[in-house]
């Protein structure tokens, strides 16, 4: 039976899951909010140009092709905002190339790029380490390093990601074998793990 996660860890993970869910639509929602907010903020400043009270400067008739010119003005403002956002995005990408530094920081802060192992990497590294051990049995330094890698892989069979992988493999491919770098007990713990987001 697996130990229940600490309350703090459970709460932080729950909060981050909700945050991740909100992020999935953030790009589209934020563009729409930016566009509508700025449109509605700018509209009162130019609204008089679309009324009969307009007497100087650029004035527009009340209707264009039988449709109130207000709608054309609002759509024009909205798409001007979108063009402004696109221009900033172009500068961000092509002129200043800030995305390269962003990706660098993003990778540095990602545990699965620095020290942690996702299930696919666990399998790959464990397989390579085992092959090294078997092809270089007389090289003590290589065997020691391969053993270290296998120990590293074994440590990550206790995590939630490996448990999710084992349960999915069991479902899709039939019973998952006990891998050479782990134990029957660890595999059973992986199968018995319950995930709060699937409860």
Confidence of residue 12 (pLDDT cuts 50, 70, 90): confident
Confidence of residue 2 (pLDDT cuts 50, 70, 90): very low
Write out pLDDT tens, residues 160-169: 999 999 999 9
Residue with tokens 């019973």: 175
* pLDDT, mean of residues 140-156: 97
Residue with tokens 């987001």: 197
* pLDDT, mean of residues 71-77: 91
Q: What is the DSSP string of the chain?
A: -PPPPPHHHHHHHHHHHHHHHHHTTHHHHHHHHHHHHHHHHHHHHHGGGGSTT--SSS---SEETTEEHHHHHHHHHHHHHHHHHHHHHHIIIIIS-HHHHHHHHHHHT-HHHHT---HHHHHHHHHHHHHHHHH-TT-HHHHHHHHHHHHHHHHGGGSHHHHHHHHHHHHHHSSPPPPTTS-HHHHHHHHH---GGG-
Distance CA 22, CA 29 (A): 10
Enumerate the domain spans of the chain. Answer: 7-109, 113-198
Residue 138 is encoded by which pair of tokens?
């007389």
Residue 151 is encoded by which pair of tokens?
């120990």
* pLDDT, mean of residues 170-175: 96
Write out pLDDT tens, residues 81-107: 999 999 998 998 888 888 888 889 989
- pLDDT confidence of residue 110: 92
Residue with tokens 């400043």: 45
- Count other C-beta atoms under 10 Å from residue 87's C-beta: 10
pTM: 0.60
Write out pLDDT tens, residues 124-136: 999 999 999 999 9
- pLDDT confidence of residue 140: 96
Confidence of residue 181 (pLDDT cuts 50, 70, 90): very high
- pLDDT confidence of residue 1: 40
Write out pLDDT tens, residues 31-55: 899 899 999 999 998 888 887 777 7
- pLDDT confidence of residue 178: 97
Higher model confidence: residue 35 or residue 9? 35
Length of the chain: 199
Q: What is the DSSP string of 56-72?
A: SSS---SEETTEEHHHH
Mean pLDDT of the chain, nearest integer: 89
Q: What share of the chain has pLDDT > 70, as a percent?
A: 95
């Amino acid at each position: 039976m697996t130990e229940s996660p600490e309350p703090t860890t459970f709460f932080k993970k729950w909060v981050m899951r909700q945050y991740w869910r909100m992020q999935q639509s953030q790009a589209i929602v934020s563009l729409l909010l930016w566009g509508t907010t700025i449109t509605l903020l700018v509209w009162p400043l130019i609204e008089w140009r679309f009324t009969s009270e307009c007497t100087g400067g650029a004035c527009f008739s009340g209707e264009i092709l039988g449709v109130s010119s207000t709608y054309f003005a609002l759509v024009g403002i909205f798409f001007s905002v979108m063009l402004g956002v696109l221009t900033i995005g172009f500068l961000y990408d092509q002129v200043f190339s800030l995305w390269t530094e962003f990706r660098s920081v993003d990778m540095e802060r990602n545990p699965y790029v620095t020290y942690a192992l996702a299930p696919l990497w666990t399998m790959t590294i464990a397989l390579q380490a085992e092959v090294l051990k078997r092809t270089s049995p007389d090289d003590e330094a290589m065997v020691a390093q391969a053993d270290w890698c296998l120990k590293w892989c074994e440590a990550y069979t206790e995590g939630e990601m490996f448990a999710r992988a084992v349960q999915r493999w069991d479902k899709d491919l039939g019973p998952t074998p006990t891998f050479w770098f782990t134990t029957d007990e660890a595999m059973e713990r992986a199968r018995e793990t319950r995930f709060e987001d699937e409860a």
